[in-house]
Amino acid sequence: MTGRIRRRKVVPFALLALAVTGLLAPASPPSKGAALAVSAGEVTDRRRNDNSFAGLEIELKLTGEASAGARGARALVEKAVDDTGRNLVKEKSGSSDFEKSAGDETPALKLELRNPARRAKVVREVSGQVEIFLPGRDPSAQVLAARFASQMDRPVAAPALKAAGAQVTVVSRKTYEAEKKKDAERRTKEAEGAGVAGAMANAFAGLFEGLFGDIGENDVLVRVEDKGKKVFSIDVVEAAGKPVAGMGSMKVGDFWILKLGEKLPADAGLRIYLLTPKALVSERFALKDVPLP
Amino acid sequence: MRRLPGPHFSSVFFLTAGLAGQGLTEPTLFAQDLRVSAGTIEDRRTTGRFFAGLEIELKLTGDDLADAKAARVVLKKAVDETGRDLLPERKGDEDFKSVSGSDLKLSLKNPARGASAVKEISGEVQLFVPTRDPAAIVTVDRILSRMDKPIESPALKAQQIGVRLVSPKVYKAGAKKREAELDKEMEKHKEEVKKEAGDDKTAEALMALVKGFAGMMGDVGDNDLIIETKDDQKRILEVLVVGPKGDTIDSQGSMSSGDVRILKFSEKLPADAKLRFLLQTRKSVVAAPFALTNVPLP
C-alpha cells in the first residue's frame, strides 16, 4: 500500500506576494525535495466495549532517500475514512510530537485513529502530512557545545541557538543542590503557614521530588528555555563527536535530565539539535484501501 | 489471592510444547447460586504477529462466592454468529484466579470482522472453596526448624505432595548448577522457541527474558522462604506463612519457577511460624455450568 508523494507547496501565494513587495525578509528556500515513500505497516484495531484504550493504529513506514538520516518524524492526519464512510479522525488529533529515531533506524510512526465500523473491510483513505527532521541538511540544525563542564551555569553561546530563540544552560551540581535546598526551605515555610493542608501538600511535593528531583551523580542537568519548541534533542558526545550511550532522558518543566550510567570524561561535549526550517521536510501522503485485520 | 501457581519461566514457552500438566480432578459438587455474565470485552485485531485475540472478562455473582478463594473457567464451546469456532487451538490458561480481582478472563480467537456478536460461549466455572474440605488446608508448624530436609506430613503425603524448605545459604550455593541446567534446557528448546517466535530476534528476546527471570530467582535474601515442591497433580493452589494463632504473615511478594517458589520477607520469620498449604481436592472445588449467548462485539 504505497502512496506516492506530492511535494508540499511550502510558500503560499499570499506570502510570496508579501515578499515581493518587500514587506517580509526573504524566506528560506524550500528544502530540497527527495524521494520519500510512505506505506502502511502493521495495522491494529483494538476494539473494546468500555471504549478505554480503543482505537485503530496504523504504522507508517518511511522509505526512500529522504528517510535516511532522519532523527525524527511526525504525522498529521487530515483525512481518514473507512469503506462504510465512517470518519476515523480523532476529535482531538492536533499536531503530534516528533517520534525520535533509535540509533540509525528511521523513526517509527503510528497514526492513532478511531475504530472503523465492524463491517468495514478497508480504510478507504488515510491522508495527511509527514514531517521529517533531517539535521544533516542544515548546519544550523546542530550546535556543539564542546567541553561543557568548563561552561557550567552559563548559557551556551551559539548563533544558531540565538536565531532559534532558545537558551540552553548546563546546570552545575553546586547550583542544583543550592536551588534544591532553597526550594525545600520555601516549601516548608509555605506549609507552616498553611497548617495541615500545607503539610499534606508538602508531603506530596516531597514525593514528586523523589520521583523527578533525584539527579544521579553522572547525570547531566540542562535548563532549556525554548518557548518556540525548537530544541529537538540533546546528546552528550565524546571529544571526537561520538555520542555517549546514555540511559535516556526526562523533562521536568524547563529542565532536561540526561541519564548517564558512567562518569563523563572532562572533555565531553553536548550536541544540541534544532528544528530549523531547512532541516524540516514536509511531504503529503495518501494511502488507499488499507486492509483491516 | 495471587495467580496460582505463580509465573514460572516454563510458561513462557514450554507450555506451548504441551509439557505442562493440568490440574487434577473433575469436581463432583455443583454450585447452588452462581451467576456468570460478560464484563469488559476486547477484540484485538492486528496484521502483526502477536497479541491478537478476543478477551472476555467474566463477572461472577451469587452466594457461592462467599467462601470461594479462587475460580477458573473450563471452556467447552465458543462460536461467533458467522459460525466461526473461537476456541483457541492450544488449551488456554485454566489456572485458578482470585475471585476478588477482575482477572477471570477468557482468551479466544478473533471472531470474523463482520460478526456483530458471539453466538455462544459455554463451559464451566469452578470455584475453589477450601473450607468445604478439611483435607484442602494443610498446616506445617515450626518451619524454621525444618530447613534443608523433606517435610514429613502425612496430610501432604496422602495427596502425593512432597515439600522441602531450602535455606537461603544452601539455595545460593546451588546457583551455578541451576544456571548450567537452565542453559542446557534452553539449548534443548532453542529450535522450538525459534519456530514459535517466528524469527531469531524475537526468539533471542524471549530467551533473554527467561534468563532474566531466572536471574531474579537467584536473588534471594536471608529472610526469604524457599519452598521446593513435588506436586505432579498440581494440587497446591496457595502457600501462606502464618503465625502461631493462624494470622497470615504477609510476604513482600513471591516468585516461582518450576517446582521452586520463593516468598520474600524483609524481616526474620518468628521461630513458631507455620506454613499453610491450600490444596485443590475433589471436595473443595464446586462447579457451575454456564452459557452466554449473543454477546455483542465491540
Residues B47, A49: C-beta atoms closer than 8 Å: no
Please report the pLDDT score of residue B18 as a whole number: 29
Please report the pLDDT score of residue B109 as a whole number: 97
CA dist B107 and B111 (Å) reads 12
Hunting for cell 503465625 — which residue is that? B243
pLDDT confidence band for B153 (50 / 70 / 90): very high
What is the ipTM for the molecules in this complex?
0.74
Please report the pLDDT score of residue A205 as a whole number: 57
Q: Closest-CA residue in chain A for B55? A: A48
CA dist B180 and A194 (Å) reads 61
Residues B45, A46: C-beta atoms closer than 8 Å: yes
CA dist A173 and A138 (Å) reads 33
Query: Could you give the 3-state DSSP secondary structure of residue B84?
Result: coil
Helix ranges, B119-167 (H): 154-158
Please report the pLDDT score of residue B19 as a whole number: 29
Q: What percentage of residues in chain B have a pLDDT greater than 70?
A: 89
Q: Closest-CA residue in chain A for B53? A: A46
More confident residue, B7 or A114: A114
Encode chain A (293 residues) as per-residue pLDDT tens digits. 444 444 443 334 443 333 333 333 332 333 444 468 899 999 999 999 998 999 999 999 998 887 888 999 999 999 999 999 999 999 876 667 899 887 778 888 999 999 999 999 999 999 999 999 999 999 999 999 999 999 899 999 999 999 999 999 999 888 888 887 887 888 788 777 776 666 666 655 554 555 455 688 889 999 999 999 999 999 999 988 888 888 888 888 888 999 888 888 889 999 999 999 999 999 999 999 999 99
Q: Distances from the Cα of A267 to the Cαs of A67, A69, A80, A263, A277, in angstroms?
A: 32, 26, 50, 12, 31
Please report the pLDDT score of residue B24 as a whole number: 53
Cβ atoms within 10 Å, residue B242: 16
Measure CB to CB from residue B45 to each of A45, A49, A50 and give the nearest one.
A45
Contact between B122 and B76 under an 8 Å Cβ cutoff? The reply is yes
**Residue among A172, A181, A180 at smallest CA distance from A217:** A172
Please report the pLDDT score of residue B246 as a whole number: 87
Please report the pLDDT score of residue A185 as a whole number: 84
* Whether pLDDT at B100 is above 80: no
Residue B172 sits at φ, ψ, to 5 deg, of -65, -35
Please report the pLDDT score of residue A21 as a whole number: 33
pLDDT confidence band for B8 (50 / 70 / 90): very low
Residues B45, A118: C-beta atoms closer than 8 Å: no
List CB contacts (< 8 A) between A47 and chain B. Answer: 42-45, 297-298
Query: Could you give the 3-state DSSP secondary structure of residue B75?
Result: strand
Contact between B95 and B234 under an 8 Å Cβ cutoff? The reply is no
CA dist B235 and A122 (Å) reads 49
**Residues of A (32-71) whose Cβ lies below 8 Å from B:** 42-50, 54
- Convert the pLDDT of each residue in B175-210 to its tens digit: 888 888 888 888 888 888 888 777 787 888 888 887
Average pLDDT over residues B73-92: 93
**Residue among B59, B56, B47 at smallest CA distance from B86:** B56
Classify residue A240 as left (phi > 0), alpha (psi -120 to 50) or beta: alpha
Cβ atoms within 10 Å, residue A131: 18
All residues at 6 or more sequence positions from B13 whose CB lies less than 8 Å from its CB, including other chains: B189, B192, B193, B196, B206, B210
List CB contacts (< 8 A) between B46 and chain A. Answer: 42-45, 293
Give the distance from residue B116's alpha carbon to the nearest chain A alpha carbon, in angstroms.
7
Contact between A88 and A81 under an 8 Å Cβ cutoff? The reply is yes
Average pLDDT over residues B6-20: 32
Locate A213 and state its grid cell.
528531583
Q: Closest-CA residue in chain B for A48? A: B42
List CB contacts (< 8 A) between A42 and chain B. Answer: 46-48
* Whether pLDDT at B148 is above 80: yes
Question: Partners of A113 in the beta sheet?
Answer: A56
pLDDT confidence band for B218 (50 / 70 / 90): confident
Please report the pLDDT score of residue A203 as a whole number: 57
Cβ atoms within 10 Å, residue A289: 12
Residue B174 sits at φ, ψ, to 5 deg, of -95, 10
Cβ atoms within 10 Å, residue B274: 19
Locate B22 and state its grid cell.
493440568
CA dist A263 and A219 (Å) reads 8
Residues A47, B43: C-beta atoms closer than 8 Å: yes
Please report the pLDDT score of residue B138 as a whole number: 97
User: Helices B175-197 and B200-217, interaxial angle, to 10°?
Assistant: 150
Please report the pLDDT score of residue B235 as a whole number: 93
Residues A43, B40: C-beta atoms closer than 8 Å: no
Report the mean per-residue pLDDT for chain B.
86
CA dist A242 and A269 (Å) reads 10
Residues B298, A121: C-beta atoms closer than 8 Å: no
Q: Which of A135-144, B43-52, B209-218 has the lowest mean pLDDT?
A: B209-218
Hunting for cell 488529533 — which residue is that? A93
Give the distance from residue A72's alpha carbon to the nearest chain B alpha carbon, in angstroms.
24
Hunting for cell 547525570 — which residue is that? A219
More confident residue, A290 or B12: A290
- Convert the pLDDT of each residue in B231-282 to its tens digit: 999 999 999 999 988 899 999 999 888 899 999 999 999 999 999 999 999 9
**Residue among B136, B158, B157, B156 at smallest CA distance from B69:** B136
Measure CB to CB from residue B42 to each of A42, A47, A291 and give the nearest one.
A47
pLDDT confidence band for B115 (50 / 70 / 90): very high
Which pTM does this prediction carry? Answer: 0.75
pLDDT confidence band for B93 (50 / 70 / 90): low
Please report the pLDDT score of residue A88 as a whole number: 98
